Amino acid sequence: MPSSADVTRIRRIVDQIKRYDSSVKVTFVSGWQNRGGSFGRTPVGMIDHHDASASSSGTWGALGVVTSGRAGLPGPLSQFFVARGSTPQIAVVAAGVANHAGLGGPKIGVPRNSGNAYLYGTEKANNGTGERYSAASIHATEVLFAAVMKVIGQDAGHVVGHKEWAPTRKIDPTYDMGWMRGLVAKILRGEVGKDMELTDKVKLSNWACDQMGLKPGSKLSVAGVLAYAAAGGYRNAEDIDKILATLRDAIGSTEKTPRQALATAAGLHDNVLELQRQVQWLVDQEKARQAKESK
């Protein structure tokens, strides 16, 4: 059974999630307060996982298995669960110790093969074999991890991937953990919700660099990303300027989050259609805002 301290700590984490971004939905799996063993200590970090559920398995993927366990591995299999789909949402599965780390380490001060006793775990609905994470899912993850680090008094360096804890056995999660720790560190520095300027630089995915004829690891301004996405890859400078001017009118400078979503998309997604979809979303948001104002 989790101790009352374990339950209180989870409640504080959920409060902190809401303070960072109240639009991140948090639900509780029934019985969460009684699920898992007592920690007997404050956990010192987080292991990031994917649940390997089929991409067709819906919003909550393998949440049932993560809650109850499977043959040979009793549940809970993590404390937290991040949904797939277009809404940032998290389920609290358990307040107590979960079976998620397995053999591995030592890492971040946690003794070898002792991950479960020292570390929280987060499972995310993702097939782990090429399914793209939605911007919403990444956002829920970064906010959750920041909230956990804040409450347990650790920095972003205490977020580790399962593939880092157990490199010979595990591949999860598929994205670069340095990148995820960077997102978490940004929130811990209080930069959540701040608008990005059109001149802010975005680190592009290698695919995007390749498409744009840039060296891997290149950075591009938000304006450049917008222009590229709007132009469908067209790179003539004059035309990009025209498109950007049109986009500036359409977007205005009022909306705080879409540019960040776009920047995330540019860094994360490997598909220009996704970038274009994000631009369309940006434009639609602004149209809706203007329609509301003119009423």
Which x/- pattern over 178-197 shows residues binding Zn ion (rule: CB under 5 A)? --------------------
Contact yes or no for 51/123 (Cβ under 8 A)? yes
Question: From the CB of 116, what's the least distance to Zn ion, in Å?
Answer: 12
Asked whether position 172 contacts Zn ion by CB under 5 A, the answer is: yes
Tell me whether residue 104 or residue 267 sits nearer to Zn ion (CB atom).
104
Question: From the CB of 179, what's the least distance to Zn ion, in Å?
Answer: 18
Backbone angles phi, psi at 92, to 5 degrees: -90, 120
* Span between the terminal Cα atoms of the chain, in Å: 55
**CB-neighbour burial class of residue 123 (10 A; exposed 0-12, middle 13-18, buried 19+):** buried
- Spatial distance between the Cα atoms of 94 and 103, rounded to a whole number of angstroms: 21
Tell me whether residue 128 or residue 182 sits nearer to Zn ion (CB atom).
128
> For Zn ion, which residue of 84, 150, 158, 162 counts as binding (CB under 5 A)?
162
Asked whether position 163 contacts Zn ion by CB under 5 A, the answer is: no
Per CB under 5 A, the segment of 20-28, 53-61, 167-175, 251-259 that binds Zn ion is 167-175
Tell me whether residue 66 or residue 251 sits nearer to Zn ion (CB atom).
66
Residue with tokens 């860094």: 267
Number of residues located near Zn ion, criterion CB under 5 A: 3
Q: Where are the beta strands (DSSP E) in 189-255?
A: 201-203, 219-221
Cα-based distances in Å from 121 to 23, 92, 99, 220: 22, 11, 9, 34
Question: From the CB of 103, what's the least distance to Zn ion, in Å?
Answer: 12
Question: From the CB of 276, what's the least distance to Zn ion, in Å?
Answer: 33
Q: Which of residues 88-127 bind Zn ion (CB under 5 A)?
A: none
Q: Which of residues 39-58 bind Zn ion (CB under 5 A)?
A: 49
Per CB under 5 A, the segment of 34-42, 170-178, 204-212, 245-253 that binds Zn ion is 170-178
**What secondary structure does DSSP assign to 142-191, as a single string?**
HHHHHHHHHHHT--GGGEEEHHHHSTTT---SSS-HHHHHHHHHHHHTT-
- Residues in contact with Zn ion by CB under 5 A are 49, 162, 172
